Structure 1
């Protein structure tokens, strides 16, 4: 895939791109490890083309993770040499690559879209040479029309010494009350690749949190008398949240087809609310950014910086934290020789341990810090 470097040079535009590069602190702080290694490190790239939301997303990370080293820059022009020298070799490079080039809701221009940042991310993989790579994108990337594109990515990673594979994961299998299918790629060095296994679904259909149950307390928080009625109507997995982009307008829950699905759950998808419904509010209601964050699997205490449109995009474009955590634990297990890391998991909404779909006993993962793609 030698054309990556050529296309990288020709793809630079004035749009700013967010690169969040974090180092996980030593064991006993953000990362716990039973391996001989004192800690695992992570370089996390969260590309955005959302204008001012770039700075807001950085502020969000600094607010919630003040110990992380957060850098705002353009990853297409970033000189990786100083970073590589300072941070040495990361255990994991994780990236949520912009989705519009492959989204079913867009024109699906793939490599012809100026927002395609896979070449830039691969260049950083080449420079940093992490022990493992985690990339995620929309399900559209797994379509037949992008088969050659996916193969070029695998070929490039093979040239760097990695074995890699793609898989479709559903957020609802990991405690997120939203279907949200995602194309996920995991790449590891050859000696660790054979120890990696994808996380198994952690919730059977009968155990998966449902939208009405997750948002019921929030809906009732201002005294709305229809909260229980609405929660009963919304006893389903929510449709996939749409995060929007620079070329998309204000905050809403997607095109007309998506809004129809939300309407069946008693939700007005034409916009977002500033606060939960007050007494006297009639159905359908609008969701707040905070309620969207709960549907995305964020913990209730996670704080978002910026105005409504900016925070909406941060939430809607995220890789659900519970899914990232499940995959990250499996990667850590492969890197630290601890075997399959899946066991009982924390419900992201209650914090309680839940029984996974398979009750077989497994050893816990040493890598417990979730990767959050903003």
Structure 2
């Protein structure tokens, strides 16, 4: 089973501060929090995501706002600016319109960085962002950061290399003030044997007494394919396009639906995953609460940055940033 990140809310002299844009279900925030970052502000324009964030980060400032209109000024001087910016501008499913996509929030993020002047930056997105067609886009973004005083690098990380039982490649940008950048190193892949889907989800599949759960566990004998979250423009939740559904079917999982509950004792055939099962495959702890109906909660989970991956990068950022730690005071409140 994926290691569970269960920690009390950090609020002490050893923690650093972070503001996160497009925080979603809180996967990146949870991972960063687990290695020492205190979330000061979490911003998202989806009311279900905001309810999820408020339910899990009770002492953070949580904002239901578009980052293009949000006022970051109260948090100037934060240690780290993190973001999980919308993926459709760079994903094949989103037609890869890049700068021409209205959902491209990289320009707004640059404005916030310029206002907050964080010492470090961490942004995650889809692998499509590294395709040659976006070379100019990345170069331009990097140059603007350089002029602000940052040195940055892009890296493709696979979730399965950092303790997540899922084939989930993600692109991460790390930028640091020039005097700190040379101290940063990307985390090395973990040398561990990951549990299979069957092993990871066995107790959840068995919770209603399904008689064939042991047989299913033997069939679900690999790590998971990438969970696909979809967008507000699409219909109900499923595990992705035809190719993804075939990959799930080979593991004995029906990818056409998301179930409300685990299989009943006499269930026959391939079971569907529940939102909680998907959350575990993403590396969320069992106690993490997701707000909204099934479609909304599944999208939050499937679009999330796996907490263990965020923790792996965050741990190195924490090490670098604590070399010249600042003291930060905040007087704002949740809205």
Report deviation, 1:143: 0.8
Question: What residue ranges of structure 2 are gaps of 5+ in the alignment?
Answer: 1-7, 25-43, 325-335
In the other structure, the counterpart of 1:177 is 165
Whether 1:43 aligns to 2:35 is: no
The correspondence for 1:294, drawn from 271, 277, 280, is 280
Matches of 1:131 and 1:337, distance apart in 2: 11
Structure 2 length-normalised TM: 0.85
The correspondence for 1:112, drawn from 100, 103, 106, is 100
Report deviation, 1:232: 1.0
Matches of 1:298 and 1:168, distance apart in 2: 21
Q: Counterpart of 1:111 in 2: which secondary structure?
A: helix
The correspondence for 1:98, drawn from 59, 83, 86, is 86
- State how 1:1-374 maps to structure 2 within 5 Å: 29-30=9-10, 39-46=15-22, 54-80=46-72, 84=73, 86-204=74-192, 207-337=193-323
Q: Which has the higher contact order (CA 8 A, sep 6+)?
A: 2
- Contact 1:64/1:302 (8 A) holds in 2: yes
Structure 1 length-normalised TM: 0.77
Structure with greater strand percent = 2
Matches of 1:67 and 1:241, distance apart in 2: 30
Q: Counterpart of 2:156 in 1: which secondary structure?
A: strand
Matches of 2:12 and 2:316, distance apart in 1: 14
After superposition, the Cα gap between the structure-2 partners of 1:32 and 1:329, relative to the gap in structure 1 and judged at 3 Å, is: farther
Give RMSD over aligned pairs.
Answer: 1.8
Q: Counterpart of 2:46 in 1: which secondary structure?
A: helix
Matches of 1:53 and 1:285, distance apart in 2: 33
- Contact 1:102/1:138 (8 A) holds in 2: yes
Report deviation, 1:211: 1.2
Q: Counterpart of 2:154 in 1: which secondary structure?
A: strand
- Contact 1:177/1:238 (8 A) holds in 2: yes
Matches of 1:234 and 1:53, distance apart in 2: 37
Matches of 2:278 and 2:299, distance apart in 1: 10
Spell out, residue by residue over 1:62-96, the C-alpha distance to the aligned partner (whole angstroms, 9 max, x if none). 1111111101111112233xxx2x33311000000
Report deviation, 1:283: 2.0
Matches of 2:321 and 2:250, distance apart in 1: 45
Spell out, residue by residue over 1:275-323, the C-alpha distance to the aligned partner (whole angstroms, 9 max, x if none). 0111111221110000000001001111111100110111011000000
Report deviation, 1:29: 5.0
Matches of 2:277 and 2:9, distance apart in 1: 29
- Contact 1:195/1:337 (8 A) holds in 2: no
Matches of 1:199 and 1:285, distance apart in 2: 36
In the other structure, the counterpart of 1:18 is none
